[in-house]
Amino acid sequence: MLNLIGNYSLVLALITSLVLPIICLRNFKSNSSFDFNIFATISIQFLLICISFITLLFAFINSDFSNLAVYNNSHTSKPLFYKISGAWGNHEGSLLLWLLVLSLFILIFFFKSKKLLNPFRFLTIFFQQIIISGFLLFIIFTSNPFQLIIPTPIEGLGLNPILQDPALAIHPPILYLGYVGSSIIFSSSLAALVCSYVNKEWANDLKKWTLISWIFLTLGIMLGSIWAYYELGWGGFWFWDPVENVSLMPWFCLTALLHCTSVLEKRSNLQSWTIILSLSTFILSMSGTFLVRSGILNSVHTFANDPERGIFVLIFLTVLIFISLIIYFKFNSIEINTKSFLLSKESAIIINNWFMMYFLAVVLIGTIYPIFLEVITTEKISVGPPYFNQLMIPFLIPFLFIMALGPKLDWIKNKKFEVKFTKIILFIISLLISYLVAKNFNTQVLYSTILISSALYLFLVSITDLKNKKLKLSQKISHTAFSILIISIILNSLFSEEVSVNLKKGEEKKSLNYLVKFENISKMEIDNFTSIKAEIHVIQNENKLKFYPELRLYKVPETITSEADIKTSLFSDNLVVVNYLKDTNYLNIRYQKKPFMLLIWLSAFMLAAGGLMGLRKNFK
């Protein structure tokens, strides 16, 4: 019964999504004010999708194995928390959650846009309904979460064990809020083009949705990074995994757009570039959806491996791109401003955008090049950290210096360019500290000094700017957080240490400056898995650390996962991961020392907090 209710709710929601564009176009052509029919239809659509999602949740909670999605992704032995998160921890359920957020955002837009031009509002809802209709068709015909199994199985196949984690349970909803926020940006930009409404008022509204999308995407990426750090046993915060990359690309676009809207809001410049960034952000989000859902990418994060679904998303994405191009070239009558922005805040923001687009291009090429190469030559390659580090780090250095100096410049043009003595002192201090750090830790002195000094200089300038009342508090916090994030990442990559040894119980081995001892191993039945926990001692000089990493043997489905034991302090993480060597009694024991991991997570939270403060000020 619940499956029928959920399915029929989706069909009725599809009908509302086909009716709404007709109502919006009729009102747009007659230039009428907003009527109750639009509000009622949007509300009914949201209610129907809510009902559909709630019925899926109940199906997972009650272990209704007559539902194919529940059968494939749940089990009666699963804890309640993972039964609930299992509702969106699969392809069909995650799409339904995406659809729920889409319908919620259009409802919020309706209430928060009452002061804006009515024709613009009609068209924004019109374009948003095209997106919602596409997702409804995709779900109903290719990814229906309410397919039935007859006869009903007694037991399910279970949720993928690596997805049974609190961080990953909340990671998808937060990430989807970031992705779906970009859909409103997309629809709003197309509507603004048609209505010739690309002005300061529109920029002010666009900035709100950009901030919403940017904040949630930042938090979503960070939560995914934390999960990969301690759950997958990779021992790091970022691995340039293809699915990590597809979430990072729209983040680059959103960051550039966030700065562009400030220029449009203050000076009525960069209109065309703002539109291009707005459209590109959602197109990149949709491209990521295509790559993840099509099975093209080989990653632990991918949801599906069904070419038919991938073709549907590709066709839908192509349609959206063509609609964007047609509207942009037909209605873009914006005159290009040729005023010189030399030594102004505008010029700093434009340069910031250039760097963001370069970083985006590097990540985009590194992600899709292996795909095209395999299609053309059948040769399989992987693009890893060396490619990204070599192409991005040299450009990161000038980017950080410009980011440090840009906020204090005036709009249009600085009347008098002055290099303040304080800035020179801060630069000398950052160089000196960086040189001492690089020399004492025996790294490449010249390379490390320049890299660390650029990040440290941004940090010192950001700290001094906290007293500057002319700058927004949200901007000061975000820039300070970003400087801490970059410093932590650089120091983490330069000074991480790793020891890997193969030992039997009772053995010990010295590697580098560390003595690793395999003291004991125990076995215990816990909930829906068997825990095999090792006791490992790591000794350096007189310092002794005890670790209890474990292997988890899940019965449904039959999977072995490795759980790291992490000792966290303000300045470093010490972690141990173990794995059985096949057909032996040996354990592979991997000890890692990772500096400043806690600061990486805290600075990412602080970065999002700065955006939240800006949103609070703008969303009144």
Tell me: do 385 and 501 sit in the same domain. no
Residue written as token pair 């191009």: 325
Least Cα distance to 136 among 99, 184, 89 occurs for 99
Tell me: do 159 and 259 sit in the same domain. no
- Residue 11 resides in a domain: yes
Buried b (16+ CB within 10 A) or exposed e, 513-529: ebbbbbeebeeeeeebb
Tell me: do 242 and 302 sit in the same domain. yes
- Residue 617 resides in a domain: no
Determine how many CB atoms are found less than 10 A away from the CB of residue 129: 27
Q: How far is CA 423 from CA 362, 406, 407, 464, 486, in A?
A: 32, 13, 13, 10, 20
pLDDT digits (tens, 9 = 90+) for 287-339: 877 777 665 655 545 555 566 677 888 888 899 999 999 999 998 876 555 45
Given a cut of 60, is residue 417 above it in pLDDT? no
- End of a domain among 395, 413, 431? 413
Tell me: do 68 and 160 sit in the same domain. yes
Determine how many CB atoms are found less than 10 A away from the CB of residue 613: 18
Say how many Å lie between the first and final Cα of the chain, rounded: 43
Number of domains in the chain: 3
- Residue 618 resides in a domain: no
Given a cut of 90, is residue 236 above it in pLDDT? no
Tell me: do 84 and 201 sit in the same domain. no
Tell me: do 266 and 121 sit in the same domain. no
- Residue 475 resides in a domain: no
Tell me: do 258 and 179 sit in the same domain. yes
- End of a domain among 388, 413, 438? 413
Instruction: Calculate the CA 326 to chain-centre distance.
Output: 29
- Residue 376 resides in a domain: yes
Least Cα distance to 56 among 102, 13, 4, 20 occurs for 4
Tell me: do 80 and 3 sit in the same domain. yes
Higher pLDDT, 272 or 529: 272
Determine how many CB atoms are found less than 10 A away from the CB of residue 233: 19
Find the domain containing 536 and state its range: 497-596
Q: How far is CA 542 from CA 397, 513, 539, 572, in A?
A: 39, 11, 7, 18
Tell me: do 132 and 202 sit in the same domain. no
Q: How far is CA 241 from CA 91, 215, 293, in A?
A: 19, 22, 16
What's this model's pTM, rounded to 2 decimal places? 0.91
- Cα(356)–Cα(251) distance, integer angstroms: 10
pLDDT digits (tens, 9 = 90+) for 91-141: 889 889 999 999 999 999 998 888 899 899 999 999 999 999 999 999 999
Tell me: do 128 and 184 sit in the same domain. no
Residue 546: strand, helix, or coil: strand
Angle at 98 between CA 93 and CA 100, to 5 degrees: 95
- Residue 444 resides in a domain: no
- pLDDT given at position 242: 81
Residue written as token pair 């960051």: 255
Tell me: do 241 and 378 sit in the same domain. yes
Buried b (16+ CB within 10 A) or exposed e, 298-329: eeebbbbeeeebbebbbebbeebeeebeebbe
- Cα(602)–Cα(48) distance, integer angstroms: 39
- End of a domain among 413, 441, 459? 413
- Residue 396 resides in a domain: yes
Tell me: do 385 and 518 sit in the same domain. no
- Residue 178 resides in a domain: yes
